[in-house]
Structure 1
Amino acid sequence: MAREESKRLLDALNRTTACYHNLVLTVGGSADSQNLREELQKICQKAQGLAVATRAALTAALRDRSLDTEERAEFEHLWVAFSGCLDLLEGDMRRALALGTEFPLHASRRQLVRTGLEGGEAGVAARALGAGSLRQEEDSNFDVTDLSKLESEILQMGEMILNMEMKVNVPRWTMQARQAPGAELLSGASAGASSAGCVSVEERSGPCDQSKALAATVFSAVLLVAVALAVCVAKLS
């Protein structure tokens, strides 16, 4: 039960981290908005909650001295996968902080949006008290709060990773791969085998197809020579 629960938590953390990674890539782009920043906050908090729960489950399992060799090896592999996932999450959080600092919401709107409206002091005062100005102020406050909170969460994530390495000693380089190199390309290899089968069928179709292919090759070569001669004549004339 503990192993299945750990796998479930780790799978949820992987999916959440992947979603966060994809959203971080859009910060500062044309799809950037306050809705995106708020969604990033929610997903980051969800990922941190899953990370805490996964760490607790795996730590309790690896500290259990009653585990047999096979079960311990399974939990160690899960632990290494979990550590790698946290490294990716921390890197994306740092990227989100850097992009959010470089592309604040209120600054981007002020720089990109130009209404072309002009007026005297009364008009300027009216616009300063308008909804647009209030919205920009809210965006500015959101930027400051969001980035400060994210910076604090990054520090907490770094402390979590450090504490993990101190409490459970599972060096990553001691883990052995459970699949042969290139096992994930088996589907591609099977596709290549099917295409090879098609080639073999074509080869068995007889010399007629081969003669057609040879004729097409000769015709293409003659055509290319003719084009080259025409170009040379045009330049000389």
Structure 2
Amino acid sequence: MAREECKALLDALNKATACYHHLVLTVGSSADSQNLREELQKTRQKAQELAVAARAQLTAALRDRGLGAEERAEFERLWVAFSGCLDLLEADMRRALALGTAFPLHAPRRPLVHTGVTGGAAGIAARALSVRSLRHEAERDFDVNDLRELEREVLQVGEMIHDMEMKVNVPRWTVQARQAAGAELLSSAGASSVGGVSTEGRRRPCDLSKALAATVFSAVLLVAVALAVCVAKLS
């Protein structure tokens, strides 16, 4: 039951990490927006929650000395997959932090053109307190706070990876795969070759009939030429 739960958590973590990676690629592009930044925040927080749960399950299983050899090998494979997924998540979070810092949504801008139009203090204060201005300030505060939170979460994920390596010593190069490298490609190639042999077997009678027809046609053509030559000589 614990193994199935770990597999389910790891599958959900893979999906969340893949979704986060896809969203990070759009930061700073024409598709970047407030909604994207909020979705990035939700997705990375969900991925971190799944990572914490998966780490707890896998750590408890691998530190159990009563675990059988076969089950331990399976949990070690899950651990390696989990470690790789966490590395990708950390890399994408660092990329999102760099892109978010380079492309802020609400950077302060100076006006390039001065129209000369001015107003009284009351009018300026009214415009400053407008709903649009307040919303702009709230969005800018979210942008700044989110980058600060993201920077803190990047450090937390890095600490999680270090803590995993200290608590559970599972070198990645010692974990054996279930099947040999390239086994799927070999099986596909074998299936294709079998299909080719069967197809060739089916096409062989057709090829023989075509050859026989060509031979008969050539013989008939030679007879017709001979008859034509005889008729020409007799005439």
Same fold at TM > 0.5:
yes
Q: What is the alpha-carbon distance in structure 1 between the residues aligned to residue 22 and residue 100 of structure 2?
A: 15
Q: Which residue of the partner structure matches residue 121 of structure 1?
A: 118
The 1:70–1:129 alpha-carbon spacing in structure 2 relative to 1, beyond 3 Å, is: same
Deviation at 1:133, TM superposition (A): 3.3
Deviation at 1:191, TM superposition (A): 8.3
- Bigger Cα displacement from structure 2, 64-73 vs 195-204: 195-204
SS in structure 2 of the partner of residue 121 of structure 1: coil
Q: What is the alpha-carbon distance in structure 1 between the residues aligned to residue 198 and residue 17 of structure 2?
A: 41
- Show the 5 A alignment for 1:38-53: 38-53=38-53
Q: Which residue of the partner structure matches residue 180 of structure 1?
A: 180
Deviation at 1:7, TM superposition (A): 0.7
SS in structure 2 of the partner of residue 66 of structure 1: coil
The 1:194–1:98 alpha-carbon spacing in structure 2 relative to 1, beyond 3 Å, is: farther
- Show the 5 A alignment for 1:138-217: 138-185=138-185, 189=189, 196=196, 200=200, 206=207
% same residue = 68
Q: Which residue of the partner structure matches residue 65 of structure 2?
A: 65
Larger Rg, first or second structure (1 or 2): 2
Deviation string 1:5-40 (CA, Å, 9 cap, x unpaired) is: 111111111111111111111111111111111111
SS in structure 1 of the partner of residue 107 of structure 2: helix
Asked if structure 1 preserves the Cα contact closer than 8 Å seen for 2:17 and 2:47, the reply is yes
The 1:206–1:53 alpha-carbon spacing in structure 2 relative to 1, beyond 3 Å, is: same
Asked if structure 1 preserves the Cα contact closer than 8 Å seen for 2:16 and 2:46, the reply is yes
Q: Which residue of the partner structure matches residue 217 of structure 1?
A: none
Q: Which residue of the partner structure matches residue 99 of structure 1?
A: 99
Deviation at 1:127, TM superposition (A): 5.2
- Kindly provide the amino acid, as one letter, of the partner of residue 119 in structure 2: A
Deviation string 1:85-111 (CA, Å, 9 cap, x unpaired) is: 100000010011011111111139x69
Tell me the number of residue pairs that the alignment of Structure 1 and Structure 2 aligns: 205
Q: What is the alpha-carbon distance in structure 2 between the residues aligned to residue 102 and residue 118 of structure 1?
A: 30
Q: What is the alpha-carbon distance in structure 1 between the residues aligned to residue 48 and residue 140 of structure 2?
A: 25
Structure 2: stretches of 5+ with no match in the other structure: 211-235
Deviation string 1:183-202 (CA, Å, 9 cap, x unpaired) is: 34468647855985798477
- Kindly provide the amino acid, as one letter, of the partner of residue 144 in structure 1: V
SS in structure 2 of the partner of residue 153 of structure 1: helix
Structure 1: stretches of 5+ with no match in the other structure: 209-237
TM-score by length of 1: 0.74
Deviation string 1:169-211 (CA, Å, 9 cap, x unpaired) is: 0001111222222234468647855985798477875498xxx
SS in structure 2 of the partner of residue 161 of structure 1: helix
The 1:184–1:27 alpha-carbon spacing in structure 2 relative to 1, beyond 3 Å, is: farther
Q: Which residue of the partner structure matches residue 37 of structure 1?
A: 37
Q: What is the alpha-carbon distance in structure 2 between the residues aligned to residue 135 and residue 183 of structure 1?
A: 57
The 1:131–1:164 alpha-carbon spacing in structure 2 relative to 1, beyond 3 Å, is: same
The 1:102–1:159 alpha-carbon spacing in structure 2 relative to 1, beyond 3 Å, is: same
The 1:100–1:203 alpha-carbon spacing in structure 2 relative to 1, beyond 3 Å, is: farther
